[in-house]
Amino acid sequence: MEDDSLRVPILERNGEEGRDSVIIFQEESQAEGDLRKRIWVESKKLWRIAGPAIFTRLTTYGTNLVTQAFAGHLGDLELAAITISTTVIVGLSFGLLLGMGSALETMCGQAFGARQYDMLGVYLQRSWIVLFIVAVILLPMYIFATPILILLGQTTEISQLSGTLAIWMIPQHFGFAFSLPLQRYLQSQLKNSVIAWLSGVTLLIHIFLSWLVIDKLGMGVIGAAITLDIASWLPFIGLFLYMVCGGCPLTWKGFSVEAFSALWPFIKLSIASGVMLCLEIWYYRVLILLTGHLADAETALDSLSICMNINGLEVMIPLAFLAATGVRVANELGSGNGKGAKFAVIVSVTTSCAIGLVFWVLILILRDDFAIIFTDSAVIIKAVSKLAYLLSFTILLNSVQPVLSGVAIGSGWQSIVAYVNIGCYYVIGVPFGVLLGMVFDFGVMGIWAGMICGTAVQTVVLAIITYRCDWEKEAAKAIDRVKVWAVAGTPKSGSTKAPASLN
């Protein structure tokens, strides 16, 4: 027979104890539900930035791949020249301009969160002024590219053609100085979709122009340089028209002389951002440079280049999360919400790390096969298979490290992280790589393993800094920082109404 007590309601049988248990259970369920909802809301905000950013970076990376593919059919000298000019000359200047332009992520992101909307347009113009000046200062790198490349050990023939191409790529150089700040200005307002669309259109136009100019018109590598110039200016023209034709009614009020005031704080943060990011961008270029001095350099470079191509494609994802994290952290800190910034960091790091784990597993599973896409050489395929273990751990570290750099950008820690990068990359990573690779004769695996150690140390240091951060204090600093960055007085046309996209 069924026990009658089982038919009595729990609260009646257990009195206050039962009532308390139900209340606690309900509170826990509500907390779990609230947490799931917060994660879902934050993930949507994150992917709203990261999704288009991934597409933008992949299409931009694809532009260079298309150029190299067309140049490869012209001859070995032409391929080597276009690779050297885009990797060394353009790569070095682009790294610095990209880093300095990233200062705008901190400034515009925090000002947007603080609803200082009018200041975003002023910050954009200040960034254009600073980056244009830097682009002019870097011009000798393009003008004297031939003697620079000869000094770096390149052959006279390759150096001369690369130097000629560098001159033709000067318009691309100035295109970066104007398009990179504009992209970050729009990105801080969550207007990423227009950047992605224009990047996709630019890639399609670039493919057509490369076929027309290089193949049909027979302009060779000079034609390739011209198509890269066009590809760098097309996104800027499209985004600029979008901005001035009403795409940013709250943040763009036209050109202003205020852009020339209060430049020094802007310059300091831009320099810190430039040093911070270009040290990261240049780091693995050192790996290629050191590998070229090994005994069996040809096999080592071929196998390493395949791994770097795979890494270059995959790293577009964490770099997109770098941008998304920087925007989310800056927006929350600018609005005075330290807890929101902390939660954005947790969601972003967890999401990017989960994606990195997937690619880590894929590389380990396919380590004996993925090189077939690039080569038929059994020797190279075997060498790539050995390097795949290092590639997988590089990808895993890259799923965390760029996101933490995004936290630094959003929080305005660029100067601190610049010192961290110098110590971890160039005091620990490079010397340790040289020690393992050349002194202990582990070759390219030793060099790469040593440099991975530098990245690992940097990741741990940034993780500790982020973990120990007092986010409420950072929010207060961000509010003060926005006031310092603003021009004297409150902008007369300032708006305090939130954009419709955020309501």
What's the N-to-C CA distance of the chain in angstroms?
Answer: 60
Q: Of 326, 394, 407, whose CA–CA distance to 359 is shortest? A: 394
Token duo for residue 111: 């000002």
Q: Of 425, 408, 433, whose CA–CA distance to 325 is shortest? A: 408
| Alpha-carbon 70 to chain mean position | 27
Structure confidence at residue 293 (pLDDT): 67
* CA distance linking residue 347 with residue 43, whole number of Å: 7
HSE, CB side, 13 Å, CA atoms: give it for residue 42.
24
Q: Ramachandran region of residue 9, left (φ > 0), alpha (ψ -120 to 50) or beta?
A: beta
* CA distance linking residue 411 with residue 436, whole number of Å: 36
Give the max Cα distance, the chain. 100
Contacts of 339 (CB under 8 A, 6+ apart): 471, 472
Question: What is the percent of the chain where pLDDT is above 70?
Answer: 88
* CA distance linking residue 41 with residue 492, whole number of Å: 34
pLDDT higher at 284 or 385: 385
Read off the pLDDT band of 456 (50, 70, 90): very high
- The answer to whether the beta carbons of residues 462 and 417 sit under 8 Å apart is yes
**Residue the block writes with tokens 């980056």:** 131
For residue 423, what are the CA distances in angstroms to 103, 278, 454?
A: 22, 14, 9
Token duo for residue 455: 């990245």
Read off the pLDDT band of 32 (50, 70, 90): low
Indicate the residue type of 162.
Answer: S
Token duo for residue 456: 């690992």
Read off the pLDDT band of 493 (50, 70, 90): very low
* CA distance linking residue 227 with residue 82, whole number of Å: 12
* CA distance linking residue 43 with residue 325, whole number of Å: 11
DSSP 294: S
- The answer to whether the beta carbons of residues 401 and 430 sit under 8 Å apart is no
Question: How confident is the model over 98-120, as a mean pLDDT?
Answer: 87
- Find the helix or strand (DSSP H, E) in which 400 lies: none
* CA distance linking residue 394 with residue 313, whole number of Å: 13
Question: How confident is the model over 445-454, as a mean pLDDT?
Answer: 91
Q: Ramachandran region of residue 497, left (φ > 0), alpha (ψ -120 to 50) or beta?
A: beta
* CA distance linking residue 16 with residue 12, whole number of Å: 9
Strongest mean pLDDT among 73-87, 175-189, 305-319:
175-189
- The answer to whether the beta carbons of residues 289 and 87 sit under 8 Å apart is no
Q: Tens of pLDDT along 193-233?
A: 999 999 999 999 999 999 999 888 989 889 999 999 999 99
Q: Tens of pLDDT along 12-22?
A: 444 544 454 44
Question: At residue 418, does pLDDT exceed 80?
Answer: yes
Question: How confident is the model over 261-274, as a mean pLDDT?
Answer: 81
Question: What is the percent of the chain where pLDDT is above 90?
Answer: 45
Secondary structure class of 455 (helix, strand, coil): helix
Question: How confident is the model over 54-72, as a mean pLDDT?
Answer: 85
pLDDT higher at 24 or 122: 122
* DSSP string over 75-130: -HHHHHHHHHIIIIIHHHHHHHHHHHHTHHHHHHHHHHHTT-HHHHHHHHHHHHHH
- The answer to whether the beta carbons of residues 396 and 357 sit under 8 Å apart is yes
Secondary structure class of 37 (helix, strand, coil): helix
- Mean pLDDT (the chain) is 84
Structure confidence at residue 12 (pLDDT): 44
Question: At residue 29, does pLDDT exceed 60?
Answer: no
**Residue the block writes with tokens 């929080």:** 411
* CA distance linking residue 67 with residue 46, whole number of Å: 32
- Lowest mean pLDDT, pick from 79-93, 152-166, 389-403, 407-421: 79-93
